Amino acid sequence: MSSWIDWASVRSLYPWFNGSKDKTFELYTPDLVEKSDVVFLALPSGEAMKLAPQMLAKGKKVIDLGGDFRMQDTNLYSTYYQAEHTAKGLLPEAVYGLPEWNCESIRTAKLIANPGCYPTAAILPLAPLLKEGLIEQQNITINSLSGISGAGRAGSVELSFCEVNESASAYKVGTHQHIPEIATALESITGLAPEFTFIPHIIPIIRGIFTTITCDLTRSASLDDVTLAFEKYYADAPFVDFTSNQIPAIKDVVNTNMISFSFSEYQKSGKLVLHSVIDNLIKGAAGQAVQNMNLMCGFSECEGLR
């Protein structure tokens, strides 16, 4: 039984693959997994937890781009994904695939929970500051502006051009599934449980996330300390770019695996203000997945990502 997908079918779904006729596409079958070294899963919530166990049992490395394995606390999963977790036994071996922080665990992992787009954009600027005690754990505000591709490729009135273009709004305030993911990952990385308010917005662009974070510097912390903290953790990170003097724009990083962020002090209120940008489909999804694969397989971290 052949599982190959003919080229006309591929083309009708993804016409932009027209220059890639040398590539092949196959329907998923268990046999296909046998022939693979690494499996990337990009499935609706709850599906990866059904498939991953048998793949891992066969000794395959699995990178899940969904949310099934990102939180150890299955109560959080139930609350925000509104479904029971059915593969709790796998959670202890799942590694949160944020290479800038979990590089060593990723190298030896069998199961990677590839981070969500908003969490990647928020955690990378915040983690060094929390870990070094430079910012307060209260009054952290995270405002993110996301392109529409974050919602997936689906037909709905809400995502139609005429609803989205020339407009903007916020959504899922207080209920977005990335809220517990950010909390879990920050606690895992820093040992702290900071209190934050995360407001996701939708703006009329296809891809990219712009995030503005406001928080309080601790009494003794200075902007120089902030610079040092970022240099300490990210000086050698190939996909992290930071600066104190130029606010990034989404277009700076679209089509790349980079996160770029800036920081400054807001004189009137004394707040520290951070701005980060990523391409939600690359550093926020597929690119970071490849970065994880590179580490898992002993390749150069940047292979295929420049």
Single out the catalytic residue among 117, 162, 215, 297.
117
8 Å CB contact between 69 and 91 = yes
- Spell out the residues 6+ positions from residue 245 whose beta carbon is closer than 8 angstroms to its own: 262, 264
Question: Distance between CA 301 and CA 147 in Å, rounded?
Answer: 27
Shortest Å distance, C-beta 63 to a copy of itself: 22
- Rounded Cα distance between 86 and 272, Å, is 41
In the complex with a copy of itself, which residue's Cβ is closer, 233 or 239? Answer: 239
User: What is the Cα–Cα distance from 108 to 113, expressed in whole angstroms?
Assistant: 13
Classified as helix, coil or strand, 242 is strand
CB 125 within 8 A of CB 213: yes
In terms of CB distance, is 101 or 261 closer to a copy of itself? 261
Provide, rounded to whole angstroms, the least separation between the CB of residue 237 and a copy of itself: 12
In the block, tokens 């209920």 appear at 175
Nearer to a copy of itself, 167 or 222 (CB): 167
If we measure between CA atoms, which residue out of 221, 231, 262, 266 comes closest to residue 244? 262
Tokens of 217: 């510097």
The minimum distance between CB 5 and a copy of itself, in angstroms, equals 16
Of 95 and 276, the one with the shorter C-beta distance to a copy of itself is 276
Q: For the purposes of burial, counting CB atoms within 10 Å of the CB of 70, is it exposed (0-12), middle (13-18) or buried (19 or more)?
A: buried
- Residue 41 or 145 having the CB closest to a copy of itself: 145
- Would you say how long the chain is, in residues? 306
- Smallest gap from residue 268 Cβ to a copy of itself (A): 7
162 is catalytic: no
DSSP secondary structure of 243-265: ESS----GGGTTTSS-EEEEEEE
Task: Report the run of H or E that residue 127 belongs to, with start and end.
Answer: helix 117-131
Sheet holding 111-113, edge to edge: 38-41, 61-64, 111-113, 94-96
Residue 162: CB minimum distance to a copy of itself, A: 5
Contact 279, 207 (CB under 8 A): yes
CB of 142 to a copy of itself, least distance (A): 10
Given the complex with a copy of itself, which of 105 and 212 has the nearer CB atom?
212
The residues annotated with a catalytic role in the active site are 117
